[in-house]
Amino acid sequence: MQKEGTTTKVKPYAASRNACKLCSPLGASMVFKGIEGCIPMIHGSQGCATYIRRYLISHYKEPMDIASSNFSEETTIYGGNRNFITGIDNIRKQYAPAVMGIASTCLSETIGEDIPSLIAEYKELKGDDKTMPVFIHASTPSYNGTHMDGFHEAVLSTVKTLAQEGKRENRINLFSGFISPADIRMLKDIVTDFGIDYTLFPDYSASMDNPCWNDYHLIPEGGTKVEDLKKTGKAVATIEFGTVLNKGSVSEFILNRASVVSAGEWLQKQMYIQNHQLIMPIGIEATDAFMNTLSAITQQPVPEKYTLQRGRLVDAYIDGHKYVFGKKAVVYGEEDLVIAMSLFLAEIGIKPVIIASGGESRMMRKELLKHNAEMFTDTEILSGADFETIREMAKELKPDFIIGNSKGYYIARELGIPIVRIGFPVHDRVGGPRIKHLCYEGTQNLFDTIVNALLEYKQEHSPIGYKYM
């Protein structure tokens, strides 16, 4: 782990201790769950799929079917061809999926499994099979990045596989990143209110946040339709949330970062569709940028309902300013999320003293200083971070609260300060899929949560049991 903007290591650890990231195939599995009729398959050991299912079920509280080619010692030596074919046959027999998303693992990548060739071999073996699913392959060894690198690799692979060039249609692409189902539903409402068709991808707002069923659904309803994914090559514009995206890949960072492209960048390069890369719309300034971009693309004014939401948010900022100004925070999580969250905290007068991510793009400081150089000049900005380093630094810097996923709870507990839970995973509370982070409405939710967490802490530690602010 390194401090961004420096060349000296913080401490000469031989290994990370409780890394501030998750595995790459997990991110790819989330993308595949956001395609209609898709079953994810992990080409590797059973333990990889089990780990991913456990993490996703704990956060989303939903059934999570992820298949595995189930590598054994023999498979590792002789290759996974037989397991691959048998696994796909079993999945097709049980689920009859329209799409299969296949993610590789450290093990299958290390022994040199050529998954595109395995897919081609399977199709040749089955001949003229009218029920053959669409196959999408994402290369996602965890030693080559975090869950976010796997996520964006799967988004890119899906678009490369399905996008079809053609006459422009009055529609946009929205690649929204790893956000909550509640955020996805909100974004769909916003784009609809601007009066333009869209392909939002991935869309797991239904498949990962279902109503109660009377009967079990082998493949949950919902997801971005394949037909809409094909239309990504015909859109008038793309909006992509994030500026780091999949530039945290270790090998690409070392070898040639320029070769890493996101789905939006690929569509712009290959099909000449203008790509708008935006900071995730958290806070007034970032949400204004998103709304203004939609307005420019659609040639429509921002709908009044969002102008009113913005006005109420400004009023809330004024009401709560005296409770948050000058407070110090630790922010951690995915790079694009912590960049957006840190800019939002600065917007409301909170000083992030540590900004940390397990991602290794080393782009966070540059992005933060671009937007607010004064606030972040002396902030500890950590790439490739682990929670033990965050913990040790936090003990010295004495923040007022931490904001991030549940994995940092033990730090807040030890320091005796509040934790505001955002992002993924939220394992120790219900409602993780329903946390709104984005746009004016999500920002309002975050602002209220942060202010109330600080007020509750002050109230609980007051010698006087007051009931009025």
Interval 365-385: pLDDT, tens: 999 999 998 899 999 999 999
pLDDT reported for residue 14: 57
| φ and ψ at residue 276, rounded to 5 degrees | -110, 105
Determine if the pTM surpasses 0.85. yes
Pick 237 or 14 by higher pLDDT.
237
Same fold, 24-210+221-280 and 305-460: yes
pLDDT reported for residue 411: 97
465: CB partners within 8 A, 6+ apart: none
pLDDT reported for residue 9: 45
Q: What percent of the chain has pLDDT over 70?
A: 94
Residues 324, 346 contacting (CB under 8 angstroms): no
Measure the N-to-C terminal CA separation of the chain; round to a whole number of Å. Answer: 43
- Each residue's pLDDT tens digit, 412-453: 999 999 999 999 999 999 999 999 999 999 999 999 999 999
CATH, domain range 305-460: 3.40.50.1980
Number of helices and strands (H, E) in the chain? Answer: 18, 14
Distance from the Cα of residue 349 to its chain's centroid: 26
Question: CA–CA separation, 459 vs 456, rounded Å?
Answer: 5
CB 445: neighbour CB atoms within 10 A? Answer: 16
Mean pLDDT of the chain: 92
- Each residue's pLDDT tens digit, 319-340: 999 999 999 999 999 999 999 9
Is 256's pLDDT higher than 60?
Answer: no
Is 201's pLDDT higher than 60?
Answer: yes
Residues 403, 330 contacting (CB under 8 angstroms): yes
Question: CA–CA separation, 423 vs 434, rounded Å?
Answer: 10
Q: What angle separates helix 364-376 from helix 335-347, to the nearest 10 degrees?
A: 10
Q: Is the dihedral of CA 451, 454, 460, 464 positive or negative?
A: negative
The owner of tokens 């975050």 is 446
Alpha-helix runs per DSSP H in 79-193: 81-95, 106-110, 115-126, 147-162, 181-193
pLDDT reported for residue 233: 97
pLDDT reported for residue 45: 86
Is 241's pLDDT higher than 60?
Answer: yes
Question: CA–CA separation, 392 vs 353, rounded Å?
Answer: 13
Structure tokens at 194: 């601007």
pLDDT reported for residue 12: 58
- Each residue's pLDDT tens digit, 263-312: 999 999 999 999 999 999 999 999 999 999 999 999 999 999 999 999 99
Task: Give the torsion through C-alpha atoms of 197, 203, 207, 210, to 10 deg.
Answer: -70
Is 215's pLDDT higher than 90?
Answer: no
* CA distances (Å), origin 144, targets 210, 342, 382, 439: 33, 26, 18, 32
Question: CA–CA separation, 318 vs 348, rounded Å?
Answer: 9
Q: What is the mean pLDDT of residues 127-141?
A: 93
Provide the residue type at 222 as one letter: G
The 10 Å CB-count burial string (b at 16+, else e) for 40-49 is bbbbbbeebb
pLDDT reported for residue 254: 47
CATH, domain range 24-210+221-280: 3.40.50.1980
pLDDT confidence of 8, banded at 50, 70, 90? Answer: very low
pLDDT reported for residue 169: 96
Sequence ranges of the domains in the chain: 24-210+221-280, 305-460
Coil, helix or strand for 76? helix
Structure tokens at 240: 């992509």
pLDDT reported for residue 1: 64
Most confident of 47-51, 61-65, 393-397: 393-397
The owner of tokens 């080559």 is 144
pLDDT confidence of 255, banded at 50, 70, 90? Answer: very low
Q: With CA atoms as reference, report the closest residue to 21 among 306, 333, 261, 240.
A: 333
